[in-house]
Amino acid sequence: MNIVIIGTGYVGLVTGVGLANLGNSVDFIDLDKNKIENLSSKKITFYEPGLEEYFNNDDTFKRMSFSSDYTSIEWENIDIVFVCVQTPNNIETNSVDTKFLESAIKEINNVNNDDLVITVKSTIPPYEIEKVCENVGMDSSKLTFNPEFLREGTAVEDFFKPDRIILGGADKEKLNKLIELYSEFECEIITTDSVSSQLIKYLANTYLPLRLSFVNEATRLIDYSGGNLDDVLKGVGLDNRIGQHYFRPSPAWGGSCFPKDLVEVNNFYDHEKLNLPLISNIINSNDIHVDWTSQNIRDLYESKNLEGVILIGAAFKEDTDDLRNSPTTEVFKNLKSSIENVIIFDEIINNEDIVKFDYLESLNSSHLFVLMYPVKESTLDGLNKVIEETNSITYIPWSL
């Protein structure tokens, strides 16, 4: 099929490269000219394991084009346009910021192609898209929805082997076109109305941090009680109804999706009419866990009389360079108020505030090395060498 992808971020690029790899022709549009220039010259704009290999495959690359100009597309020949732009929180109004979505939908509304399937992949709370469409004079019942569930770090694998595909909308013919596009995928396809498709995305992104926060609260209770963390979590997780998968402690959860999606889920219902005490407290639980992790680090640093603290891993989890809502940044800010010498080490991310191995190798005193998440074997070997040579101490606020 002929596909247009609007937005070449984590979702848009992975989806487009995956679809091109499966034989579709894919035109990408992004208003960020810098990104388009890089992609046109075969340079990927973020780190995602495996993506580069697919992107640079000659047959795949030949099926893709990149532009910042909506008029460069031969819209009459396009089957499906996927809208993959960001939907961040507007900090001032504490609600979803739909300006990127609105500018994309406005451009698509100018297109003269009645058969065009317009599919929103961006995460958008129920009833928000209607307002966006109203603002640009589009009939919202024309839209279809295909919420995205890929995880940064395993996004390519998630594209080719999704757990499920969710399609929402009212126009059966347009939904059928999407079913045809995904016909080779082995998972179940759920077709539903637009609001339900949006709720599936939001409730998944509510349950996942809820589960992570449950484990983190359990971790605090186990620590308080003097129990063995690994034994207790294993003993609980082996109950089939609970399960061990995704049942592990962390310094806190973060990233580009959970924090904003949780804010949005708590924003779109009327708290006077609906009381959801569990869902409305997940963020609070996570904030408390950031403080708990920071306090543990502070206690260790002080009790062992160390020279400083080195946080290993700047992103919100392994195998990504996405710094959005990273717990490392939160812990760093917390520690900075009382410890002068706190730094962040990261091998993938280049940023003036982040140190590399050359810095660690110049250390000649004991530090506290905090592994924020698992690192590559080779990185761990290098770190262990420095830790041994400087008589430093390691703290790991997570387990697998």
Ligand X SMILES: NC(=O)c1ccc[n+]([C@@H]2O[C@H](COP(=O)([O-])OP(=O)(O)OC[C@H]3O[C@@H](n4cnc5c(N)ncnc54)[C@H](O)[C@@H]3O)[C@@H](O)[C@H]2O)c1
Q: Could you tell me which of 176, 199, 187 has the C-alpha nearest to residue 79? A: 176
Q: Could you tell me which of 315, 182, 307 has the C-alpha nearest to residue 254? A: 315
Catalytic residue status for 257: yes
Residues near 217 by beta carbon (within 8 Å), at least 6 away in sequence: 285, 289
- 9 is a contact residue toward ligand X (CB under 6 A): yes
Site pattern 119..158 for ligand X (x: CB under 6 A): ---xx------------------------x-x-x------
- 354 is a contact residue toward ligand X (CB under 6 A): no
β-strand partners of 188: 164
How many of the other CB atoms lie within 10 Å of CB of 337? 9
- 85 is a contact residue toward ligand X (CB under 6 A): yes
Contacting range for ligand X; rule: CB under 6 A; set: 31-39, 165-173, 372-380, 388-396: 31-39
**What is the smallest separation between the CB atom of 142 and ligand X, expressed in angstroms?**
18
The residue written with tokens 């984590």 in the block is: 10
Q: Residue 123 is which amino acid? A: T
The catalytic position among 84, 133, 187, 257 is 257
SS3 23: coil
- 330 is a contact residue toward ligand X (CB under 6 A): no
How many of the other CB atoms lie within 10 Å of CB of 160? 14
Site pattern 99..118 for ligand X (x: CB under 6 A): -x--xx--------------
Number of residues in contact with ligand X under rule CB under 6 A: 26
Contacting range for ligand X; rule: CB under 6 A; set: 28-36, 165-173, 329-337, 381-389: 28-36
Reported in sequence order, the residue ranges of the chain that DSSP labels E, i.e. its strands, are 2-6, 25-29, 64-67, 80-83, 89-90, 95-96, 117-120, 143-145, 164-169, 188-192, 309-312, 342-345, 354-355, 368-371, 393-395
Contacting range for ligand X; rule: CB under 6 A; set: 83-91, 245-253, 281-289, 341-349: 83-91
Kindly list the residues in this chain that would bind ligand X in the complex (CB under 6 A).
Answer: 6-12, 29-32, 35, 84-87, 100, 103-104, 122-123, 148, 150, 152, 256-257
| Residue positions annotated with a catalytic role | 257
